[in-house]
Structure 1
Amino acid sequence: MSFYISLSGLKAAQTDLGVIANNVANVSSVAFKKSSAQFGDIFAATGGPAGGNGVRLVGVQQQFTQGTLETTDKTLDLAVTGEGFFTVKGAGNGPVSYTRAGAFGVDKNRNVIDSTGAHLQVLPTDATGLPTGTAASDLTDLVIPTDNGATPPVQLSAISISETGLVAATYADGSVKNLGVVAMASFPAQDELRQQGDAHWIASGESGAAVYGGGNSGMFGAVRSGTLERSNVDITEELVALISAQRNYQANAKAIETATTMTQTITNMRT
């Protein structure tokens, strides 16, 4: 029995090492959120001296704590301070996903896209900059114009994004036009979001449906233009956890070796 108990501990330590290694590997990934392995004991229903049958993996829990902010001075580099996610959508009829990796750029069609090519979504706005719709059907792609569309056209001069996520275009004649409010998303249980890679998540049955709105209000954090959120991995903390997991692995391996030696000794005595 001790052999199988130690074997479960060996597998648990191996899983822990894998989770920690993934955290360390992504220490430089924009807006990466670290994870931690959660374990529970296996109770022996039939009793027994040890009172248990080893350890099992309960799950790998994501930790959506705030990462440090890095100033870039690029208008379309966005970060969120507080709760909430940017809403992006795959090109065409691609799926909607959510991210805090705000390294956005502009493609050849003037769509604002992230590092995966997904389009940043905005909500319609009134003249005062407040969203006029917060339903999923109100989401539209953010497109940066080159001019104001008038005759003759007036060229675009600058783009600005406020803490509420209001995107405003300023033209050469000084006129300003609101292009929309960056669609922020929040969830009843964000820890249950399903990871998709590249710091993107999608909603699941356990996370609940997305609630949309503008930044810097209610459950939505402020939008910071010219800033990127870094990974929330603390490398010192991860290295300490790595040493602990390695020692757990070694201890369980030693316990298996001891159990094997004892079994061989008993077998030799019988023969």
Structure 2
Amino acid sequence: MSFSQALSGLRVSAESLNVVSNNIANARTVGFKSTGIRFADVYSDSRVGLGVRVGGLVQNFNAGNQETTNRNLDLAINGNGFFRLIQNDQTVFSRNGQFSLTKDGFIENAQGARLTGYNRGTAQGTAPEAIRIPADGISAQRTNNVDASFNLDSRAEAIAATGAGNQTFSPDDPNSYSYVSNVSVYDSLGTRHDVRMFFFKHDDNEWSVGFLTDQDQPLDPNAIPVQYDVATQPVEFAADGTIVVPDNGVGIAYNFDPQNGADPVNFALNLTGTTQFANNFEVAALAQDGYTSGSLLRLSVNEQGQIVGTYNNDQQQVLGTLALATFRNNEGLRAIGNNVWVETGNSGAPIVGVPGEAQFGQIASGVVEASNVDLNQELVDLIIAQRNYQANAQSIRTQDEVLQTTVNLR
């Protein structure tokens, strides 16, 4: 009498218990993928089967639920792809997006595996490398452009001319100009200068605009003649209230010496969108592109995988872009522990790209992908594995009793 069938049943039942127990143990492991077991019967030119064996283990790569953490460097992938990491000089892949910034500027997981991608200044499509956040801050940038749009009230009275045709202008006398607005510009050293923009109405549809620095220094608009004791630029409107001079609001250039050792400030004024309607004076938009120097405050990652640095001067810069990898056969990957996999011949070579392009998923920040273990199903499988083990053990006991009965025959 053969005990091999029942013994093989005990072996695979024990292996099934191991698989289920491992799934249950990792039910709270971020990025964990549950494993299923497959069985195969055994025949070898025999009338009755010789038992059962483990046909293979298969991992379930379905995405787990996303859990909110509100940490900027906790990441999850919405869709296909794996994070590409360097661990002990080996390229590994993971769905666990729990990362932290090290003192050396690398983005690592708890096991020290470094996130890879494309650092600032590195072209995408080259070989990904470990992302390293630069320690230096952001340098000051001189203002090059001021974009502004206003509504100048067409009902405003023209500024009266006296004497030789020039009204005496004083920034402290609101009767010597029509309207005033402030704009802050920056020199090459990052020093902010609060510049006042004055508007003068001369006649129907005819205005001019001029500037004074915070030192009451007139700005030179390319040597345009001075009117009202401040260098001005003509501004004219069509009958429908749209700006026509300068050409659609574009083409006014100003410069001044900040008198602090910095380079001269030269900026272009863009008045596109400025109108002259019979309505109150209004600043519709006002922006400039200069800023002072700044230090890094925090990092964030957007849907395209761009790692964005926010500085204490309210500026942001893209400091790198993380890389994702996909495989033709995810089930061919080999798990090596610590929630990472390595490629094999069965998985195929990785296809590397950036989030949001082609087959790659987008990045969600402030969340992590939970384990995809279904605890309810695992508990059911645990009971089934237990019953299988007990049934095979009972089979052995039964065969042993039958054998003893046979031996005791006289």
Give the alignment's TM-score, normalised by structure 1: 0.89
**Matches of 1:76 and 1:38, distance apart in 2:** 37
Q: Which residue of the partner structure matches residue 113 of structure 1?
A: 108
The 5 A counterparts of 1:58-97 are 58-90=55-87, 94-97=89-92
3-state SS of paired residue (1:65):
coil
**Matches of 2:61 and 2:84, distance apart in 1:** 16
Report deviation, 1:83: 1.6
Report deviation, 1:59: 1.1
Cα distance per residue 1:41-88 (max 9 Å; x no partner) = 11231x32x3x2111111111111111111111110001122211011
Q: Which residue of the partner structure matches residue 184 of structure 1?
A: 324
Q: Does 1:217 align with 2:214?
A: no
Q: Which residue of the partner structure matches residue 124 of structure 2?
A: 133
The answer to whether the 8 A contact 1:124-1:133 is kept is no
The letter of the residue matching 1:161 is V
3-state SS of paired residue (1:32):
coil
Report deviation, 1:123: 2.5
**Matches of 2:358 and 2:343, distance apart in 1:** 20
**Matches of 2:39 and 2:120, distance apart in 1:** 47
The letter of the residue matching 2:28 is S
Report deviation, 1:148: 2.9
The answer to whether the 8 A contact 2:8-2:51 is kept is yes
Residues matched between the structures, number: 259
The 3 A distance-change label for structure 1 pair 149 and 174 is closer
**Matches of 2:390 and 2:69, distance apart in 1:** 44
The 5 A counterparts of 1:23-172 are 23-45=23-45, 47-48=46-47, 50=48, 52-90=49-87, 94-123=89-118, 132-135=123-126, 138-148=127-137, 150=139, 154-172=294-312
5+ long unaligned stretches in structure 1:
none
**Matches of 1:150 and 1:170, distance apart in 2:** 13
**Matches of 1:149 and 1:160, distance apart in 2:** 16
**Matches of 2:391 and 2:375, distance apart in 1:** 24
**Matches of 1:90 and 1:251, distance apart in 2:** 45
**Matches of 2:97 and 2:344, distance apart in 1:** 22
Q: Which residue of the partner structure matches residue 197 of structure 1?
A: 337
The 3 A distance-change label for structure 1 pair 125 and 142 is closer
The letter of the residue matching 2:300 is S
5+ long unaligned stretches in structure 2:
141-188, 190-292
Q: Which residue of the partner structure matches residue 15 of structure 2?
A: 15
The answer to whether the 8 A contact 1:111-1:119 is kept is yes
**Matches of 1:90 and 1:44, distance apart in 2:** 45
Report deviation, 1:149: 5.4
3-state SS of paired residue (1:181):
strand
Report deviation, 1:171: 2.4
Report deviation, 1:2: 4.5
Cα distance per residue 1:163-216 (max 9 Å; x no partner) = 121112232334332222211011111111111111111111111111111112
**Matches of 1:111 and 1:160, distance apart in 2:** 14
Q: Does 1:250 align with 2:390?
A: yes
The answer to whether the 8 A contact 2:333-2:343 is kept is yes
Q: Which residue of the partner structure matches residue 164 of structure 2?
A: none
3-state SS of paired residue (2:308):
strand
Q: Which has the larger radius of gyration?
A: 2
* Percent identical residues: 37
3-state SS of paired residue (2:76):
strand
Report deviation, 1:248: 0.5
3-state SS of paired residue (1:103):
coil
Report deviation, 1:125: 6.8
The answer to whether the 8 A contact 2:119-2:131 is kept is no
**Matches of 1:218 and 1:110, distance apart in 2:** 30
Give the alignment's TM-score, normalised by structure 2: 0.60
**Matches of 1:196 and 1:213, distance apart in 2:** 23
**Matches of 2:138 and 2:358, distance apart in 1:** 35
Cα distance per residue 1:19-46 (max 9 Å; x no partner) = 000001111111111101111111231x
Cα distance per residue 1:233-267 (max 9 Å; x no partner) = 11111000000000000001001111111111111
